[in-house]
Amino acid sequence: MQPKQYKDLDPSPRILLGPGPSTASPRVLRAMATPLVGHLDPQFLALMDEVQQLLRFVFQTENELTIPVSGTGSAGMETSLCNFIEAGDHVLIAINGYFGERLYQMANLYGAQVDRLERPWGQVFDPTEIESALKKKKYKLVALVHAETSTGALQPGIPEIAAAAHQQGALIVLDTVTSLGGLPVEIDAWDVDIAYSGSQKCLSAPPGLAPLTVSDRARQMLRSRKTPVANWYLDLTLLDKYWGQERTYHHTAPISMNYALREALRLAAEEGLQARFARHRTNAELLWEGLEALDLSMLVPLQNRLPTLTTPLVPPGVDELVVRQRLLNEFNIEIAGGFGPLKGQIWRIGLMGFSSRPENVLLLLSALEHILSKS
Amino acid sequence: MQPKQYKDLDPSPRILLGPGPSTASPRVLRAMATPLVGHLDPQFLALMDEVQQLLRFVFQTENELTIPVSGTGSAGMETSLCNFIEAGDHVLIAINGYFGERLYQMANLYGAQVDRLERPWGQVFDPTEIESALKKKKYKLVALVHAETSTGALQPGIPEIAAAAHQQGALIVLDTVTSLGGLPVEIDAWDVDIAYSGSQKCLSAPPGLAPLTVSDRARQMLRSRKTPVANWYLDLTLLDKYWGQERTYHHTAPISMNYALREALRLAAEEGLQARFARHRTNAELLWEGLEALDLSMLVPLQNRLPTLTTPLVPPGVDELVVRQRLLNEFNIEIAGGFGPLKGQIWRIGLMGFSSRPENVLLLLSALEHILSKS
């Protein structure tokens, strides 16, 4: 072991305009550096309460069971499925991108009988399509993605789909990883049962926590399970007691990550949700206009386009990877490429949270113009 | 939402002498505040390699599959079981405290036929006891705790137990949550197959990552499973590809937590393992001497006592909770109480990582003397 080979941590000053993580605010970074208290310290227990209140604010819900899961967004997805699925349950998954596929894989893993409803990547579902599927067969749960991180598409009609699910006695699970904190996510008004997100997208905290909210309807279903939850770390019957009044020890909460999430949520509360959504929208429109001026067209039509993640098509003859590498190496700008069926065909440009700033848009457009004009 | 009710983060300057988290070094806190790069940035991929190398150093292993699991120590425990257990497998758990009980619960959850080998909390097993149990019946896996955080006991004879397990074709899982980085943990020399820990104990990073190492023998067994791993987030067949050469996307690694863990491990490498273990031992001996001078006796006899976590018995007539509250409120010192069968009977005093300092020992002894003389 030659410790000197491990140099001081000194990463390049990246401007994070990919699908997440987004750039964290200096205030959030300072919160991360705050000295630790113990996870059972009364001061930390009070902070847990505040994080829960602030999460209810961004989810626009009164759900008591609203917590940050101590893992990344994928852990939030798994929590949302494994607690509500028992072997043999019938589950419907709407799939129009990578994260729909992942929901499908996880639901299968927990022994559900899973039906797939599919749309090509980049498209969205007509809500009536999902409603009819829910009428044809009795499901325990339907899961879909609000904002598809792999395509940039925004699924409309969530309240209608939720109503259709409830008419048939099904729960609705919604992936809000790339929407929460960047565009309206109205859990109570839409009557969504279970929603999860990631800390590192439109909330601009570092990755490592998964905001989650569970309706009383879903909580009742959890309590009336016939079999134990088949996952210990993500078991909401235990997590509910840890985050609730009882404070029954389950695991050691990631103290610093909760410091960071609290600060990120406090920033959202200070800004106000409507102002925050308007900012994301305005900066997205500035980006779209600029991309069109560079003769780039978008994968997703305007009416279903996410303001938080834009997916321009790569022009014929351009190597998308070379462009991304030049953005990173010459200008410290990170954007992402497509994957799966969209590999090589799109870029994915995130304007999320602290990264959603007009100066970032102008810089990116200018750098893209510079690179594309010479490629 | 009245954002102003959420004040600036300003926790009291606690001295963390409980069973974890320990106090993080200022260098680790500064690393946490480092601006983020993306999780697929070449600079982050290089950092992942470094974290793996440094983890191999503290685990004293060449195991290729050595990673930080993106969750707390309990997620490390679950990873160590769910990947190697298939329904119906015979598993032996040695239980002499809370974390042995948790191993038992988790092994059951994954459908194992679990046998319990028990000792009262605070005692350790005679290694021959476990060896005989392994001879009586064929097991797929035996799991035990090296350093019991609930009692302060250190299990001796790990190499002998590992050899006995391997003679019968069983894997050995070792909980090193309260030992890794504070006392010798020699994965290769002891021939341990699977070991896990937590970032927030003797490594003194914040909680949120679980160091894990897996022997080639166990990795082969993982690859020859008949059924898929019954957990998506903790599935080592996927995590192995994410942390390995292929870098196949699985989840978004917690960037800042990995920054912190790297810095904490770098501190361990700079200090050197032998010097680090000697420091933990010396400070523990200073504590033991001082506690005995206060007429406190220890739950665990000297030969099995952890240097990282000391568990004095609460004297008759003393309310242990009042003492802890006074330590916290008057002196900003955190220690913990006992729980389960040891509730009210012991204190748990951690001297781990950055918290293992002679000035902390003298302060704690002085504060305890002050409080006990008036109680």
Residue B240 has pLDDT above 70, yes or no: yes
Q: Is B168 exposed, middle or buried (0-12, 13-18, 19+ CB in 10 A)?
A: middle
Enumerate residues 99 to 128 of chain A having a beta carbon within 8 A of any beta carbon in chain B. 105-106, 109
Q: Closest Cα partner for B199 from B207, B190, B188, B187?
A: B207
B-chain CB neighbours of A35 within 8 Å are 11, 13-14, 23-24, 29
Give residue-wise pLDDT tens across range A120-131.
999 999 999 999
Nearest residue in chain B measured CA to CA from A15: B37
Which residue from A minimizes the CA distance to B251? A74
> Among residues of chain B, what percentage have pLDDT more than 90?
97
**Dihedral sign, Cα of residue A200, residue B2, residue A216, residue A146:** negative
Once rounded to an integer, what is the mean pLDDT over residues A144-166?
A: 98
What are B315-374's pLDDT values in tens digits? 999 999 999 999 999 999 999 999 999 999 999 999 999 999 999 999 999 999 999 996
Are residue B327 and residue B253 in the same domain, yes or no? no
Q: CB contact, 8 Å: A340 with chain B?
A: no
Which one of A1, A200, A336 has the shortest CB-CB distance to B57?
Answer: A1
Q: Do B254 and A206 touch (CB under 8 A)?
A: yes
Cβ–Cβ below 8 Å for A43 and B260: no
Q: How close B135 comes to chain A (CA, Å)?
A: 30
Which one of B269, B290, B313 terminates a domain? B269
Any domain includes B159? yes
Rounded to the nearest angstrom, the minimum Cα separation between A38 and chain B is: 6
In a domain, B258, yes or no: yes
Q: Which of B232, B233, B252 sits opposite A198 (nearest CB)?
A: B252
> Tell me: the pLDDT tens digits for A329-340?
999 999 999 999
**Neighboring chain A residues of B253 at a CB cutoff of 8 Å:** 72, 207
Using a CB-CB distance cutoff of 8 angstroms, which residues of chain A are in contact with residue B16?
Answer: 36-38
Nearest to A6 among B21, B35, B266 (CB): B266
What letter does residue B374 receive in the DSSP assignment? T
pLDDT band at A263 (very low <50, low <70, confident <90, very high): very high
Residue of chain B with shortest Cα separation from A4: B270
Residue A7 lies in a domain: no
Q: A208 vs B70: CB contact, 8 Å cut-off?
A: yes
Which residues contact residue B236 at a Cβ distance below 8 angstroms, ignoring those fewer than 6 apart?
Answer: B65, B79, B83, B214, B222, B229
- The rounded distance, in Å, linking the Cα atoms of B113 and B360 is 45
Whether A4 shows a pLDDT value over 90: the answer reads no
Total structural domains within chain B: 2
| Closest by Cα among A33, A8, A35, A32 to B270 | A8
Would the pLDDT of B2 be above 80?
A: no
The span from the CA of A197 to the CA of A181, in Å, is 10
d(CA B305, CA B308) in angstroms, rounded, equals 9
Q: First-to-last CA distance in chain B?
A: 45
B193 touches chain A (CB under 8 A): no
Interchain pair B254, A54: CB under 8 A: no
User: Do residue A264 and residue A307 come from a single domain?
Assistant: no
Cβ of A34 within 8 Å of Cβ of B54? The answer is: no
ipTM over 0.95: yes
Whether B101 contacts B74, CB under 8 Å:
no
Nearest-CA distance A98 → chain B (Å):
11
Q: Which residue of A has its CA nearest to B230?
A: A109
What would the pLDDT profile of B241-275 be if each residue is shown by its tens digit? 999 988 989 999 999 999 999 999 999 999 999 99
Are A178 and A287 members of one domain? no
Cis geometry, peptide bond prior to residue A21 (ω within 30 degrees of 0): yes
Closest residue of chain A to B2, computed from CA coordinates: A269
Are residue A288 and residue A246 in the same domain, yes or no?
Answer: no
What residue in B sits closest to A6 (Cα-Cα)? Answer: B266
Q: Of the candidates B269, B292, B309, which is a domain's last residue?
A: B269
Whether residue A71 has pLDDT greater than 90 = yes
- Selected for mutation to probe chain B from A177, A227, A235, A251 (highest B CB count within 10 Å) is A251
- Chain A residues 301-330 with a CB less than 8 Å from chain B: 328
Same domain as A246, residue A211: yes
Q: Is A287 an interface residue toward B (CB < 8 Å)?
A: no
Name the residue of chain B whose CA is nearest to A251's CA: B74
* Contact with chain A for residue B227, Cβ under 8 A: no
- pLDDT band of residue B375 (cuts 50, 70, 90) is low
Rg (CA), chain B: 21
Query: B154 pairs with which residues across the strands?
Result: B147
Say if B4 falls within a structural domain.
Answer: no
Q: Are residues A349 and A228 in the same domain?
A: no
d(CA B346, CA A248): 19
pLDDT tens digits, B110-155: 999 999 999 999 999 999 999 999 999 999 999 999 999 999 999 9
Is B10 contained in some domain? no
Summarised one tens digit per residue, pLDDT across range B17-62 is: 999 999 999 999 999 999 999 999 999 999 999 999 999 999 999 9
Tell me, what's the pLDDT at B142?
Answer: 98
- Return the CATH number at B80: 3.40.640.10
* Residues in B 126-185 with any Cβ partner in A closer than 8 A: none
Closest among B233, B164, B155 to B193, alpha carbons compared: B164
Question: Is residue A245 over pLDDT 90?
Answer: no
Same domain, B77 and B204: yes
Q: Would the CB atoms of A33 and B37 count as touching at under 8 Å? A: no
B197 with B325, same domain?
Answer: no
Mean pLDDT score of chain A: 97
From start to end of B56-184, where are the E strands?
Answer: 65-69, 90-95, 113-118, 141-145, 147-148, 153-154, 171-175
Which pLDDT score is estimated for A5? 84
Q: What is the pLDDT of residues B91-112, one digit of tens each?
A: 999 999 999 999 999 999 999 9
Q: What is the pLDDT of residue A1?
A: 64
Residue A258 shares a structural domain with residue A139: yes
| A-interface mutation test, from B4, B22, B36, most A Cβ less than 10 A away | B36
* CB pairs A-B closer than 8 Å: 231
If one counts every other C-beta atom within 10 angstroms of the C-beta of residue A242, the result is 18
Exposed, middle or buried: residue A13 (CB in 10 Å: 0-12, 13-18, 19+)? exposed
With an 8 Å Cβ cutoff, is B340 touching chain A? Answer: no
Residues of A in contact with B58 (CB under 8 A): none
Give me the pLDDT at residue B133, please: 98
Q: What share of chain B is helix, strand, coil (3-state, %, to 5)?
A: 45, 15, 40
Q: B265 and B277: one domain? A: no
Would you state the pLDDT for residue A226?
97
Q: Residue A145 — pLDDT band, cuts 50, 70, 90?
A: very high
The rounded percent of chain A whose pLDDT value lies above 90 is 97
Cβ–Cβ below 8 Å for B249 and A339? yes
Are A176 and A35 within one domain?
A: yes
The pLDDT value given to residue B5: 85
pLDDT at residue A174 greater than cutoff 70? yes
For testing the chain B interface, which of A232, A248, A348 should be mutated: the one with the most B CBs within 10 Å? Answer: A232
- Residue A349 within any structural domain of the chain: yes
Structural domain including B276 reads: 15-21+272-373
Residues 61-80 of B with CB under 8 A from A: 70-75, 78
Percent pLDDT > 70 in chain B is: 98
In a domain, residue A200? The reply is: yes
Question: Does a structural domain hold residue B137?
Answer: yes
The CATH number of the domain holding residue A316 is 3.90.1150.10
Closest C-alpha to B34, from B17, B47, B16, B49: B47
Contacts of B206 in chain A (CB under 8 A): 36, 254-257
Name the β-bridge partners of A145: A175
Q: Do both B161 and B260 map to the same domain? A: yes
Q: What is the pLDDT of residue A246?
A: 87
Averaged pLDDT, A317-345: 97
Q: Is A15 on the interface with B (CB under 8 A)?
A: no
| Alpha helix positions (H), chain A | 26-32, 42-59, 73-82, 98-109, 127-136, 158-167, 187-190, 216-223, 236-243, 255-271, 273-293, 320-331, 358-374
The residue of chain A with its CA nearest to that of B256 is A206
pLDDT for position A375: 57
Q: Which of B243, B269, B295 is the last residue of a domain?
A: B269
